[in-house]
Chain A
Amino acid sequence: MEANPCDQRYYELLEQLQTLDFALVELNLYLNTHPDDLRSIEQFNQLTQERTKLANQFQELYGPLQILAEPIRNVRGNGIRRLGLGRCKKSATVRN
């Protein structure tokens, strides 16, 4: 799905996601060599939850963030479809 370039919210949410993801990448690298740093583990866990929440919100609005082989919920809520397998023709042709 292509984002509407006029939709400012799309870019705002994407930037928030990028920011959270970056913090997680950085904490993850740090924890590889500092596995006993409890404060960082705590921060990592907290940001992971925030990230999941934001990603869900984003996907509700703009469709899947990742290319998956698992079932995903159609953005219009009409059931499950599988990306790339074309099993569910009706919902696969839905364009938002």
Chain B
Amino acid sequence: MDLRKKLQYPVRVGKCDIRMARYLSEQYGGADGELAAALRYMNQRYTIPDKVIGVLNDISTEEFAHLEMIATMIYKLTKDASVCELEEAGLGPHFAQHDHALFYSNSAGVPFTAAYIQAKGDPLADLYEDIAAEEKARATYQWLIDMTDDVDLQDSLKFLREREIIHAIRFKEAVQIIIDDRNQKRVF
């Protein structure tokens, strides 16, 4: 994997905001988060038809870059927080387990599980799941943008929201490529 010493898009935060860090966990270790997306596509990639392997492979890689951005946000928003402040924002149980470390859990503190994702071996079933995943992630980003008044944080979140839209478009095109391919083969 390509480990570059820079983020895909800059992450700046205007203030220490533990409440937002907690909500951002949804996109870190949540069901519709970046980890779920990256792992889902990277795994489905092996049994998807050759024509659309690139779509899954490359979008998965980009999701890892987004995971890194979310991690940077959570880290920056909590690194200077005291134990009291963490407890007040509902991160007392997190601190008891992890101190200031990040962990793959959702905004309610539930650890990540592979049960969030699927691989059916059926190209259309997999791709429709992927489209739904992108739309759900896009919606979550919108709620997160609405929950903060930090314009720097909003800027990074808006970038991520736009990427979900592009990914959904590419997955829809992949669906069409597979459908066209099947129709073509039926002629002969």
Question: What string of 1s and 0s marks CB contacts (under 8 Å) between A18-51 and chain B?
Answer: 1001100110111011100000000000000000
Please measure, in the bound complex, the distance between the C-alpha atom of A32 and the C-alpha atom of B48, giving whole angstroms. 14
Cβ of B2 under 8 Å from chain A = yes
**How many A residues touch the partner, as a band?**
10 to 19
Tell whether, in the assembled complex, residue B6 and residue A29 are in contact, meaning their CB atoms are under 8 Å apart: no
Please measure, in the bound complex, the distance between the C-alpha atom of A42 and the C-alpha atom of B97, giving whole angstroms. 52
Tell whether, in the assembled complex, residue A17 and residue B6 are in contact, meaning their CB atoms are under 8 Å apart: yes
Tell whether, in the assembled complex, residue B170 and residue A32 are in contact, meaning their CB atoms are under 8 Å apart: yes
Cβ of B39 under 8 Å from chain A = no
Tell whether, in the assembled complex, residue B5 and residue A66 are in contact, meaning their CB atoms are under 8 Å apart: yes
- Selected interface stretch from B53-61, B87-95, B102-110: B53-61
Tell whether, in the assembled complex, residue B166 and residue A29 are in contact, meaning their CB atoms are under 8 Å apart: yes
Cβ of B85 under 8 Å from chain A = no
Tell whether, in the assembled complex, residue B52 and residue A32 are in contact, meaning their CB atoms are under 8 Å apart: yes
Please measure, in the bound complex, the distance between the C-alpha atom of A64 and the C-alpha atom of B54, giving whole angstroms. 28
Cβ of B135 under 8 Å from chain A = no
Tell whether, in the assembled complex, residue B9 and residue A25 are in contact, meaning their CB atoms are under 8 Å apart: no
Tell whether, in the assembled complex, residue B52 and residue A18 are in contact, meaning their CB atoms are under 8 Å apart: no
Tell whether, in the assembled complex, residue A14 and residue B6 are in contact, meaning their CB atoms are under 8 Å apart: yes
Residue of B nearest to A1 (CB): B5
Tell whether, in the assembled complex, residue B10 and residue A66 are in contact, meaning their CB atoms are under 8 Å apart: no
Cβ of A85 under 8 Å from chain B = no
Tell me which residues from 1 to 30 in chain B have a Cβ below 8 Å from any Cβ of chain A: 2-10
Q: Which residues of A contact B166 (CB under 8 A)?
A: 26, 29
Given contacts A17-B6, A65-B5, A66-B3, 15 further A-B contacts (CB under 8 A): A14-B6, A15-B10, A18-B7, A22-B8, A22-B9, A25-B62, A29-B166, A32-B58, A32-B170, A32-B174, A33-B173, A33-B174, A34-B173, A65-B6, A67-B5
4 A-B pairs closest in CB distance? A33-B173, A32-B54, A67-B3, A32-B55
